[in-house]
Structures are given as structure tokens and as C-alpha cells.
Amino acid sequence: GESVGLHLPTLSVQEGDNSIINCAYSNSASDYFIWYKQESGKGPQFIIDIRSNMDKRQGQRVTVLLNKTVKHLSLQIAATQPGDSAVYFCAENYSPSGGYQKVTFGTGTKLQVIP
Amino acid sequence: DSGVTQTPKHLITATGQRVTLRCSPRSGDLSVYWYQQSLDQGLQFLIQYYNGEERAKGNILERFSAQQFPDLHSELNLSSLELGDSALYFCASSVATGVTNSPLHFGNGTRLTVT
């Protein structure tokens, strides 16, 4: 999985508002998509995933939307809290063959929650 | 706790030196991935192993090498270190059965400082 080494875009949101983080993916053959949250000084953590046969999946306060037509993924966080401040990465997975998966990460978005 | 263990947590060394970073994947995970993350940047994919075999290579420098051992732990070797190699190095693992894709589980990284 590769990602471009650019400085991260930032999204600033007022506490209590909803956040929407967007991601464009590149491979139309990708069949599994994941959002990760990375807090400062830690490794990325799994938040929610979605398979290509779905267009929406909901978790606790989070929803992932998948639009395969335009190869777009979004993460919606309801009632954003200060603890949601982190960098969010999307990832697209493709399994060519042989029991392994090719993972490509997006560039990441930094979410800043304003108290 | 992701179940992925990386050692050491911090490493400070001089230019020109060689270091080895170690990763123990989650129990049962066959795939290991290595990523480099510079300050406020995204995840740069380095290399991926599946059950001991190299499966994919990213932008990994020739000065860097890795391997996955029969017990599935992995090591990333960085040699002739330069100041620009200072970064967080993450290891991730996944089940990757080839039947069902699965998320990556990340360790908390090794912070390498080259002086």
C-alpha cells in the first residue's frame, strides 16, 4: 500500500457538530475499504470497514459511505467530540491472488475539534 | 491493544549507522507490512510479507531491507542511515486469508532519530 507523502489537509469542526471526511480511491477492482484513526504518537487504529457490495455501513457514531461509480469514500462522525481529534486515513484493499491483500492508503486528513 | 508488538519504541543513532527494527504480528496473522511516517505526513508503504515471502514492495530504499521469519516475526534493517531517515516506522499485520479481506492491525511504531 502506498500513499503520497504530502502534508495533511486539516478539517476543523466545532464540538457537537457532525464531521465528514472524504477520500478518493484509485482502483476500481478494490473490494474492501477501511477507515483508520491515528492519534498522536500511536499507530493507526481500525474504525469501520465496508465491502464493495454495500454502499453504507453504520457503527457507533460513525458511518461510512461508498460510491463506486465515482470511486469515493466518506466517513461521517456524528456529534464530534474532542477525543475524535486525530488523523484519519482511508484504505482500499484489493486481493489479486495467493491469499494476500494489497492495501493502499489515502493521504490522511487531520481532524481538529474546537471545544 | 492491537496485539502487534514493535521494539524498540525509540531509537537514537548517528548517521552512517545500521539499525534493526523488530515486529511481532498478532497471533494468527500471516501478513506483515512496514510503513514509514515522517512528521505530519501520510503512511509511506515500504514492504509486505506473507507467510515468509515478500509480496509487494513500495518506495523502499536499497539501504533498507526486511525479512519475515518462520515464526512470522519480521525485522526491518536500515543501514547507512541519513538524517532524512528519521521517522516513525510502523509494522502492521493482517490475517489475509485471501477469502475474506481483513483490516490491518498496527503496532505503536518505532521512533527513529538519526543525529
Cβ–Cβ below 8 Å for B40 and A44: no
Count CB neighbours of B39 within 10 A.
8
What pLDDT is recorded for position B98? 52
Give residue-wise pLDDT tens across range A92-106: 988 776 556 788 899
**Residue range B26-51, pLDDT digits in tens:** 998 988 999 999 887 789 999 999 88
pLDDT of residue A2: 43
Residue showing cell 518506495: B59
From B47-56, B73-82, B85-94, the region with the lowest mean pLDDT: B47-56
Mutation target for A interface from B49, B104, B105: give the one with most A CBs within 10 A.
B104
3 state DSSP class of B29: coil
Of B84, B72, B98, nearest to B3 by C-alpha is B72
Q: Average pLDDT for residues A53-64, to the nearest whole number?
A: 96
Task: Give the gap in angstroms from C-alpha B17 to the nearest C-alpha of chain A.
Answer: 25
- Spatial neighbors of A85 by CB under 8 A, at least 6 apart, are A111, A112, A113
**Per-residue pLDDT band at B17 (split at 50, 70, 90):** very high
CA gap B67, B20 in Å, rounded: 11
pLDDT for position A1:
42
Q: What percent of chain B has pLDDT over 90?
A: 77
Cβ neighbours of residue B106 under 8 Å, at least 6 residues apart? Answer: A36, A43, A44, A45, B2, B4, B90, B91, B92
Residue of A45, A101, A105 to mutate when probing chain B, most B C-beta within 10 A: A101
| In chain B, residues 30-69 whose CB comes closer than 8 Å to chain A | 30-31, 33, 35, 38, 40-45, 48, 50-51, 55-56, 58-59
Burial of B71 (C-beta count, 10 Å sphere; 0-12/13-18/19+): exposed
Distance from CA of B80 to the nearest CA of A (A): 22
Closest CA to B92 of A31, A98, A48, A91: A91
What's the confidence (pLDDT) of residue A11? 95
